[in-house]
């Protein structure tokens, strides 16, 4: 009776180098890695009062569901429906538009 074939039987086997041997030791033409590009300094986080205000806006169901849209889109939708969302939220969103 013949044993069933395995998917790995169709591919050639490759041997792994023993632990402790890097590619640089095996390949003399290996170039040293370039340093990573300089990153911009991180922007300071917004203050906790602003984050708390945005959190309250997110959790308030009066302005409709918040899944699948941005905070600004949700604010504009609430404004269009006449729900009068807080203007401070819109100002904060426009001021920190690049910070998710």
Query: Which tokens go with 2?
Result: 């013949």
User: Could you tell me which residue, 16 or 53, shows the higher pLDDT?
Assistant: 53
Q: What's the pLDDT at 23? A: 59
Query: Taking Cα atoms as reference points, which of 60, 61, 94, 90 lies closest to residue 76?
Result: 90
Measured in residues, the chain has a length of: 100
Q: What's the pLDDT at 52? A: 93
Over residues 56-72, mean pLDDT? 89
Query: pTM for the whole thing?
Result: 0.53
The pLDDT confidence band at residue 75, using thresholds 50, 70 and 90, is very high
User: Structural domain boundaries of the chain?
Assistant: 44-99
Interaxial angle between packed helices 87-95 and 71-80, expressed in degrees from 0 to 180 and rounded to the nearest 10: 150
The pLDDT confidence band at residue 90, using thresholds 50, 70 and 90, is very high
């Amino acid at each position: 009776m013949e044993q069933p074939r395995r998917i790995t039987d169709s591919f050639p086997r490759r041997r792994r180098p023993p632990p402790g041997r890097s590619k640089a030791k095996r390949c003399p033409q290996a170039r040293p890695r370039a340093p990573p590009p300089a990153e911009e300094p991180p922007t300071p986080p917004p203050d906790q009062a602003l984050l708390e205000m945005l959190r309250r806006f997110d959790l308030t169901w009066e302005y409709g569901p918040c899944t699948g849209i941005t905070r600004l889109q949700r604010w504009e939708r609430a404004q269009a429906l006449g729900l009068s969302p807080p203007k401070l939220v819109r100002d904060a969103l426009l001021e920190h538009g690049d910070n998710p």
